[in-house]
Amino acid sequence: MNIEKILKDYKNGRMGLKKVISYLKDIPYKDIGKVKIDFHRRIRRGFPEVVFGEGKDIEVLKNIIKEYKKKKEELIITRLKKDVYEVLRGNFDELEYDEVAEILFLNRKRRKLKDSGILIITAGTSDIKVAEEAKITCELFGYKVDTIFDIGVAGIHRIFGNLKKIRRAKILIVVAGMDGILPTIISGLTSSPVIAVPTSVGYGSNFKGLSSLLTMLNSCSPGIVTVNIDNGFGAGYFASLILKTLEK
């Protein structure tokens, strides 16, 4: 629950002192053993803590969900496989899940999306999962996102067919595996900042995305920042943070 709403509800007599204390006692975080839940994150950053789901024990995930359910707080868990979600759904009916982006939600807020000028581009269709993670992250910030999928440099004419749309964008998130060259090409065609996202898509010498990452880090085109391999969340967060900062 938003701390401002808690204080207003207390002031207006809609919430008693004991209930207020029960919400505030876990600031800045709640220690539940293996996990330290940062309920204070939204107050500090304007965005709730996001849990990285991959590799986490089922019981740990259940305990995290229970705590967020008690607080009626929004919970977002990224990189969560469908089979894990199916197990969790057996315990919590109210969970939502995006199968493409592999993101789980509890108490998901339905935000009215505003135009942002964020454009997400992928080199291939195999990069869409990471792009969808970035898209959903921007939407959680309240920003509408446009997309162009499958315009990698193997068919470079596809880029030029979308040039007007690319040049209208305020911020571009460019997602690519294989040789990872697409962000450099896009950056050379626009004056807007580019957030490059390397993916683990590719054959053996791709080294699970390392080749794409190094290409993007060594780009000769200025105006590019690079997030980690498959980190669509980080790209969407950073793009949204730029816009949020400008709005202030």
Clarify whether residues 80 and 180 are in a common domain. no
Q: Which of 58, 82, 106 is the last residue of a domain?
A: 106
Clarify whether residues 183 and 129 are in a common domain. yes
Clarify whether residues 90 and 118 are in a common domain. no
Buried b (16+ CB within 10 A) or exposed e, 98-118: beebbbbbbbbeeeeeeebbb
Clarify whether residues 129 and 152 are in a common domain. yes
Clarify whether residues 192 and 222 are in a common domain. yes
Q: Which of 106, 130, 150 is the last residue of a domain?
A: 106
Decide if 127 contacts 152 (C-beta within 8 A): no
CATH of the domain at 208: 3.40.50.1970
- Predicted local confidence at residue 72, as pLDDT: 83
- Report CA dihedral (18, 19, 21, 25) to the nearest 10 degrees: 130
pLDDT in tens, the chain (248 residues): 567 778 888 888 888 888 777 776 666 677 777 788 877 777 777 788 899 999 999 999 999 999 888 888 889 999 999 999 999 999 898 999 999 999 999 988 888 899 889 999 999 999 999 999 999 999 999 999 999 999 999 999 999 999 999 999 999 999 999 999 999 999 999 999 999 999 999 999 999 999 999 999 999 999 999 999 999 999 999 999 999 988 87
Clarify whether residues 27 and 60 are in a common domain. yes
The number of domains in the chain is: 2
Clarify whether residues 66 and 154 are in a common domain. no
Clarify whether residues 39 and 122 are in a common domain. no
CA of residue 9 relative to chain centroid, distance: 31
3-state secondary structure 178-232: CCCCHHHHHHCCCCCCEEEEECCCCCHHHHHHHHHHHHHHCCCCCCEEECCCCCH
- Report CA dihedral (29, 31, 37, 42) to the nearest 10 degrees: -10
What does the DSSP assignment read for the chain? --HHHHHHHHHTTSS-HHHHHHHHTT-S-EE-SS-EE-TTHHHHHSS--EEE-TT--HHHHHHHHHHHHHHT--EEEES--HHHHHHHHTT-TT-EEETTTTEEEES---PPPEEEEEEEEESSGGGHHHHHHHHHHHHHTTEEEEEE----GGGTHHHHTTHHHHHH-SEEEEEE-TT--HHHHHHTT-SS-EEEEE-S-S-GGGGGGHHHHHHHHT-SSSSEEE--TT-HHHHHHHHHHHHHHHH-
- Predicted local confidence at residue 211, as pLDDT: 96
Q: In which domain, by residue range, is 225 found?
A: 114-247
- Predicted local confidence at residue 25, as pLDDT: 65
Clarify whether residues 94 and 27 are in a common domain. yes
Q: Which of 64, 88, 106 is the last residue of a domain?
A: 106
Clarify whether residues 213 and 98 are in a common domain. no
Clarify whether residues 148 and 240 are in a common domain. yes
- Predicted local confidence at residue 2, as pLDDT: 66
Clarify whether residues 129 and 88 are in a common domain. no
